[in-house]
Structure formats: C-alpha cells, structure tokens
Amino acid sequence: MIDAATIKKIREVTGAGMLDCKKALEATEGDWDKALAWLKEKGLANADKKADRETNEGYIGSYVHATGKIGALVELQCETDFVARNDEFKALAQEIAMQVAAMDPQDEAELLAMEMIKRGEETVEQAIKALSGKIGEKMALGRFVRLQLA
C-alpha cells in the first residue's frame, strides 16, 4: 500500500499529477528511483503524442553574460498564451538562452543535442520534452541568436 505522504513527496519533486504519482509508485512497487524514471518516461511519451499540434504562442528568453559582451535570445514556442506566461516555461527559455551564449551552437540540431549546463546529462531536447509532458502542451525550439562584441 502506497501512503499519501509518499505520493505527495514524489509529486513535489516531479510536478506530476497525484494520480500519475500513485500509478508510478504502484507500478514500481514503491521503488522511488524506478517511479521517477516511470514518470519521466510517461512525460516524454505524452510530449511525443502532441507532435502534430501547432505552436502559435511562446516566449523569448534572454541572457546577457555578466561582462555585458555576450548575449543570446531564444524563442521557445508553445500552444497557448497561458503556458507562455508559465514561470517554468519562461525559466526554461532563459536557461536555453544561457546555453546558447555559453556554447555558441551553429544550428538547431546542434543546440537540441547539447547537454544542458545546469542539468547535467539532460539535453536541451529532453528538457523541452520533459516540460511539455509535465505541462501537457506541445513545445518547440524556435529561432535563436547569439551576439558577441568583438
């Protein structure tokens, strides 16, 4: 039997719904690490189901290095203006902008394949899909630009 406190704790860590957290814990016989992996996999699968939806809204994340000599803008797209105003969505756009400023990717494919600076082994593409699965809307990387003073 999975207790409510454990369900609440995994929900706080993942942001997933209560029912999903309960299902994950039941499916993994209460194993915390396996439940986290189960929820992550479910979130990625949900993100893939939304692939054919249109992303007509979004947010432009920005980052300027402390020196003021390098900066980046990143367009992160979503389906609704409600999600575009979400703090986690905006934070991800800004985190990707920092990634662009630091790593200077040459194209979208290179950026999507990069490991996130702040997240260890998670790539930019995986971070977008994870948030998409959590929030329940399709998200996509749009345009990006990096500027550097000579």
121-132 mean pLDDT: 90
Beta pairing class for 139-148 and 57-64: unpaired
DSSP 8-state assignment for residue 116: P
Distance in angstroms (rounded) separating the CA atoms of residues 12 and 18: 10
Largest CA distance in the chain: 62
pLDDT bin (cut points 50, 70, 90) of residue 18 is: confident
| Cross-strand partners of 58 | 77
129-144 pLDDT, tens digit each: 888 888 888 899 999 9
pLDDT tens-digit map of 52-111: 677 789 999 999 999 999 999 999 999 999 999 999 999 999 999 999 999 999 999 999
Residue 90: C-alpha distances to residues 15, 76, 128 (Å): 16, 8, 12
pLDDT of residue 46: 58
Q: Which domains does the chain have, with CATH numbers?
A: 4-49 (1.10.8.10), 57-148 (3.30.479.20)
